[in-house]
Amino acid sequence: MALIDQTQAMTYTNRWATPDDADRIIELLPRLADYELPPNRKAEVFWEGDAGLVRQWAKGEVPQTFVRVAVDAADVAFAVAIVTLNNDHFSGEPNAHLETIVVHPDADGTGTGRSLIAEVEAEAVARGAQSMSLHVMTNNERARHVYEGLGYNEEMIRAIKFLPAK
């Protein structure tokens, strides 16, 4: 999955995704498992659900979900942010959940992910959200560092114990 041209990532445009972008967005999703995975987890579990969400979104089946992409000069998506409007788990107040943010590795460090997050945060506010939540694995240090720098506070830990099969 090579970026068309390294320099094109530096001259990118962010825009609202269209259903025509769905296949390219899905091609980017395996990057969600590009870190040391937790034990007993296969890489696919970290992105297959998002691929299903993208397919539903492209068919118009999830109107509460919106998708922003960064595209290069050839209008090929190389980064994506997917958000679903919901209610906060604790307060019940309007919330936006950052389902995923993925940036092609060739565009790391360009500010693309941060710009997409800023834009979907603004859209979430425009749609009435009072907060934005996200999930991140504890050992995904790269992502946790970015989120912390953007003002996200870690407030919940999810623990799991795999039980023996019957």
pLDDT tens for 51-78 read 999 999 999 999 999 999 999 999 999 9
Whether residue 1 is contained in a domain is answered as: no
Strand partners, 134: 98
Domain coverage including residue 26: 6-149
Q: Is residue 159 packed enough to be buried (19+ CB in 10 Å), middle (13-18) or exposed (0-12)? A: exposed
- Predicted pLDDT of residue 6: 52
- Predicted pLDDT of residue 104: 96
- Of 124, 57, 49, 33, residue with least CA distance to 87: 124
Whether residue 162 is contained in a domain is answered as: no
- Predicted pLDDT of residue 39: 86
Residue 109: CB atoms within 10 Å: 9
pLDDT tens track for 88-131 = 999 999 999 999 999 999 999 999 999 999 999 999 999 999 99
- Of 21, 10, 33, 5, residue with least CA distance to 112: 10
- Predicted pLDDT of residue 4: 46
- Of 8, 9, 14, residue with least CA distance to 121: 14
Whether residue 63 is contained in a domain is answered as: yes
Whether residue 161 is contained in a domain is answered as: no
134 backbone dihedrals φ, ψ, rounded to 5°: -160, 165
pLDDT tens track for 25-52 = 999 999 999 998 988 899 999 999 999 9
In single-letter form, the type of residue at position 89 comes to H
Beta carbons of 58 and 67 less than 8 angstroms apart: no
Structure tokens at 116: 């997409």
Whether residue 82 is contained in a domain is answered as: yes
Whether residue 158 is contained in a domain is answered as: no
pLDDT tens track for 1-27 = 444 455 554 689 999 999 999 999 999
Residue 155 has pLDDT above 80, yes or no: yes
Q: How many domains, in total, are found in the chain?
A: 1
Global confidence as pTM: 0.92
Beta carbons of 36 and 87 less than 8 angstroms apart: no
Whether residue 57 is contained in a domain is answered as: yes
- Write the CATH number for 19: 3.40.630.30
